[in-house]
Amino acid sequence: MQAWELLNQNVGYSHDGYYGTLSQDPDGPYNAPPDYAVTKKLNAEGGNPGGVELRWTDLLALAVNHGDIDVARLVLFYGAYTFSNVLSVIAHENNSAEMVRLLLLHLTDKTLKADLLTKTYREGKCPRLIEGFLKMDYRAIEAQIDGLKSLQFACRHGHSRIAELLLEYGANTLVEGDGLGTLLHLAAEQGSVDIVSLLFRFQEELKFDKRDNGGFRKTPLHIACHNGHEEVLKSLIAHGANVNASIANDGSETALHIATKQNRVEIVSTLLQHGADTEHKMALHLAAETGNVEITKLLLDNMNRRKIDSIAMYQRTPLMLALLKHHIPVMQLLIDRGAEFDTMDVNGNTLLDHVVDGSTEDLNLVRFLPDNLDVSLFENFNERKMTPLGVAAFEGKVNVLKLVFEKYGSVDVDFKNEHGRTTLHFAAIYGERGAMEVLINHEADINAKDNDGWTPLHYAYGSFQSAAGPSRAEVAEFLLEKGSCS
């Protein structure tokens, strides 16, 4: 026998004030409260397998959980309360909109009802309950959840079915939040392509290139690229979003730069397939600095070969940036594609200057240089009027000097700058005894004179000595021992 039949047959209103009697139950007390009486009868008929004591609210929960609206009506009539724990079970698909409406009609506590609405929006798991609220109270469509309006919250958290209900019931699609942007910005951030599609369907003139009102002024496409939401990106592009729109509309970074910095290989590929400009502020420089070989290759495959040595980011070439970050695989790729060693940055430094003028002495970078490198590159001067060897000597990078001579024995060790100073002069200025010894061992002219007639020994005695180096006397004695003329 069904539970509602048992209830109909055995529970009724008695004249002595109780809500039910079980006159046919020889073991149970007459005029018993209904929860006890119904429990006894259900136990006897097998309708309560657990054999636990039931209350009206328990019976309501069972009825709702099984989608039995007749039992729900009956126990509500007899005094069951529609507490939120009962209402929460209507997420089950076997419950009808009629059941939802029935329960909400019996939920008279306004605070409880408001809390339930907020909880249901926040969890996003019970669109039927949301629909029930929307049918009963138009104010439910503008509910505030954690500082957001209901539709904003649904878009930001990917609750697509609830978002669809709100849109069907006329929620405002133009709502924006401080620093959050439009609904499309929120959907792009969350990565819900379903919600993006909904917004395009319900708002014919959706402004897909509108910028948010945060500090970076991004479009939804920028946000999708930053977060790696490829399907959202494709949907935005399909609806006409501009892949080359720059942040803040000031000619700064585009989506391609954002995706490159975030190492989003698939996003970069999609952008390039849809016409992203590879030459705007040179995304290649970013790829080289981040060290992503795949993105570097994608960009090289889609750009003008002549731009590979362009000066852009930090006024350096991509090859220089890769070198400074020690991204050797990217360096190799750039060289294989034709990157030059002799291109100078704005300070007159070539790749060789950056190899020897780093914060660390990374010999792998020197070893990486090709064996057939034009040794005349060692004769280029930077803004300090030093050659690459001069920089290494000046900074006392003994191992770098040794490896350069090992790889390129024909380097002119006595090459002079416009002031007539050789590499040995620079080593002497800062008292770099180890560097001086390497240079002298490779036949550096210990008595070479600059334009003022000064030899390395003069600089050892002079006023240019570093306070951190050896004493003037020690440097001078070393040079004299090696054959310097006093």
**pLDDT digit string (tens) for 64-79?**
777 777 777 877 776 6
Q: Which of 69, 92, 115 is the last residue of a domain?
A: 92
* Residues 274-333 pLDDT 10s: 999 988 778 999 999 999 999 999 999 999 888 898 888 778 899 999 988 889 999 999
Residue 397 lies in a domain: yes
Average pLDDT over residues 411-432: 89
Average pLDDT over residues 4-11: 50
Kindly tell me if the per-residue pLDDT of 368 is higher than 90: no
Give the C-alpha separation, 411 to 438, whole Å: 13
Percent pLDDT > 90 in the chain is: 35
On whether the CB atoms of residues 320 and 334 are closer than 8 A, the answer is no
Residue 178 lies in a domain: no
Residue 241 lies in a domain: no
Angle between the 97-105 and 69-77 helix axes, to the nearest 10 degrees?
10
Bridge partners of 390, per DSSP, are none
Percent pLDDT > 70 in the chain is: 78
Q: Which residues span the domain enclosing 396?
A: 373-486
Which carries the bigger pLDDT value, residue 280 or residue 186?
186
Residue 381 lies in a domain: yes
pLDDT band at 24 (very low <50, low <70, confident <90, very high): very low
The four Cα atoms 357, 481, 415, 334 give a dihedral, to 10 degrees, of -30
Residue 158 lies in a domain: no
* Burial status of residue 367 (CB atoms within 10 A of its CB: 0-12, 13-18, 19 or more): exposed
Kindly tell me if the per-residue pLDDT of 147 is higher than 50: yes
Whole-model pTM: value is: 0.74
Residue 391 lies in a domain: yes
* Residues 255-280 pLDDT 10s: 999 999 999 999 999 999 999 998 87
On whether the CB atoms of residues 427 and 455 are closer than 8 A, the answer is no
* Residues 430-474 pLDDT 10s: 888 899 999 999 999 999 999 999 999 998 887 554 555 567 788
Which tokens go with 459?
A: 């600089």
Q: Which of 92, 116, 143 is the last residue of a domain?
A: 92
Residue 259 lies in a domain: no
Give every CB contact of residue 357 below 8 A, 6+ residues apart in sequence.
Answer: 349, 388, 391, 392, 395
What SS3 class is residue 68? coil
Q: Which of 92, 126, 144 is the last residue of a domain?
A: 92
Average pLDDT over residues 97-119: 79
Residue 459 lies in a domain: yes
Which residues in 392-420 are b (16+ Cβ under 10 Å) and which e?
bbbbbbbebbbbbbeebeebebebbbeee
Task: Count how many domains the chain has.
Answer: 2
Bridge partners of 246, per DSSP, are 254
CATH of the domain at 404: 1.25.40.20
